[in-house]
A and B are shown apart, each in its own frame.
Chain A
Amino acid sequence: MNVIHFQKRLQDSRILMVDDSEYSVFLVTEILKNGGYTNVAIASSGAAALDSISAQIPDLIIADVLMPEMDGFELCRRIRALPHCADIPIIVETAMHSQEERVNIFRHGATDLMVKPLNPVELLARVRIHLEKKHLMQDLQNYQHRVEGELSDARKMQFALLPDDDALKACRMRYGLKLSQYYDPSEKVGGDFWMLHPLDENRVLMTICDFSGHGVTAAMNCFRLHAVLHQQAAQYETPGTLLSGLNQFLFSLLPVGHYATFCALLIDTNKRRMTYAAAGSPTPMIHRAGNTQVEKLNGRGIPLGITPDATYETRETEFHPGDALFLYSDAITDCHAPGLVALSEEVIAEQLSLHAKKEWNDLFTSLMKMHQPATQQHTDDVTLVLCQWNGISAHGK
């Protein structure tokens, strides 16, 4: 902050002086003027002070205690009851020396107290302290308000990265794949996202990503990688070559210690196969049609962006009508905060078997209830994706 600029802001502050004695008003305004404060409004009674405040809220109020009609106690109480006036510093001047009365002034809402006769140096010092505090608090609140607004906008942008209802519907029409999702960043924005990349009439690619850390940095990395994937994902021959390409890109981009876990899965409805490659992603799971067993895929692989030497093999499994693929972020399996329960792969597999019988209703709700039985707060970003193949696509295959 610019010191000279701040000094000027302090001196331009509007100060309201409330006193019925002309002599006191003269004395205080002279002291203030000598201190560089010239934006001073005068009120000769409590009622006049309230009128002045409703016309323009001052930055600081100096009020006398002993005034006819409305005394300083009552004035403080009324000011505090006004909207936007809870934090205005009020310095009360008094000749009272009894402890009880002095304490009483603070109880009525005064910020500070000065004993008459006033000492000019002390008055200016107190005025300065309270004005500084008031302006710094105001700046902090404005800043917080602005950042919260920006983060809310960023959050909307982040949700817009995810496949929308139209994209999910198109996937269902084209491939017979029914997709559902649950997404919740731990802060306003987060480091998770997943994408759908329709390749041709029979093949669709799914990607899921989780950047290390969370919050703004992780979210910005999401946007960068999302843009690259959107443009380039379809150009790679296999999930393995896609991951190698992304790894090179992220290695050149990310500082040491930052990385992304990632999984790319390509469903071929014609061949009824799924090829996939993983970079340290949570174990993807497939619930097989008519079976209670859940197949765990292999999520092993060096996360993207750590070393340019990493290689990613393309793995393969079957994918048949009735099968359901479940993807999730490690937030639900690796957590350590009080109130959160880490779900083991076995528990997740059990839940998949259970919900397969109930046509997958409430799978996400059940998992989240088990993960956070008492709280709505997680410490990491949560993404859950379920992809069921009902076997009917536009081609009737």
Chain B
Amino acid sequence: MDYTATQNDATATYHLRGSFTFEDNPRFRAIIQSIPEQKIKSLVVDLAAVDFMDSAALGMLLLLHDEAKQHNARVTVANPVGQVRKLLEISMLDTYLGIKS
């Protein structure tokens, strides 16, 4: 998985690309750990270019959600497609995390 980040006022957006799996743990943890310094109110994880996500990646999204909540920031998952969308729907995390298309 690769990503680029953009920031606009109090919203940080992460555009993820490729497959998002267990192996991306260190890289995604860096995003999670950067939340306290960023002083943002809203965090968007754009999954439009993610073609596969496993259960560990879902766990990482939950960690991000938890960390953001502790710093009064909101996480939104944007544009999931295909298998990624299906995974979020079956686990009802589309409602839990908040999804925008």
**For residue A76, which residues in chain B have a CB less than 8 angstroms away from its CB?**
none
B90, A259: Cβ atoms closer than 8 Å: no
- Chain B residue nearest to A218 (CB atoms) is B55
A212, B59: Cβ atoms closer than 8 Å: yes
Interface residues of A (CB under 8 A from B): 210, 212-213, 256-259, 261, 280-283, 299-303, 306-307, 330, 334, 336, 342, 380
B contact residues, total (Cβ < 8 Å):
21
Q: Which of A256, A261, A283, A380 has a CB less than 8 Å from the CB of B62?
A: A256
Q: List 25 A-B contacts (CB under 8 A).
A: A212-B55, A212-B56, A212-B59, A256-B62, A257-B59, A257-B62, A257-B63, A257-B66, A259-B59, A259-B62, A261-B91, A280-B91, A280-B92, A283-B90, A300-B92, A301-B91, A301-B92, A302-B96, A306-B96, A307-B96, A330-B55, A334-B54, A334-B83, A336-B21, A380-B54
Q: How far is the CB of B100 from the nearest CB of chain A, in Å? A: 19
- Chain A residue nearest to B92 (CB atoms) is A302
**For residue B93, which residues in chain A have a CB less than 8 angstroms away from its CB?**
302, 306
Known: A300-B90, A336-B19. A257 touches B96 (CB 8 A): no
Interface of B (DSSP majority class): helix
B66, A256: Cβ atoms closer than 8 Å: yes
CA distance A342 to B63 in the complex (A): 27
Known: A334-B83, A336-B21, A336-B52. A213 touches B92 (CB 8 A): no
**For residue A301, which residues in chain B have a CB less than 8 angstroms away from its CB?**
91-92
Known: A256-B63, A300-B90. A213 touches B96 (CB 8 A): no
Q: How far is the CB of B36 from the nearest CB of chain A, in Å? A: 16
- Chain A residue nearest to B62 (CB atoms) is A257
**For residue B56, which residues in chain A have a CB less than 8 angstroms away from its CB?**
212-213
Does B58 reach chain A (CB closer than 8 Å)?
yes
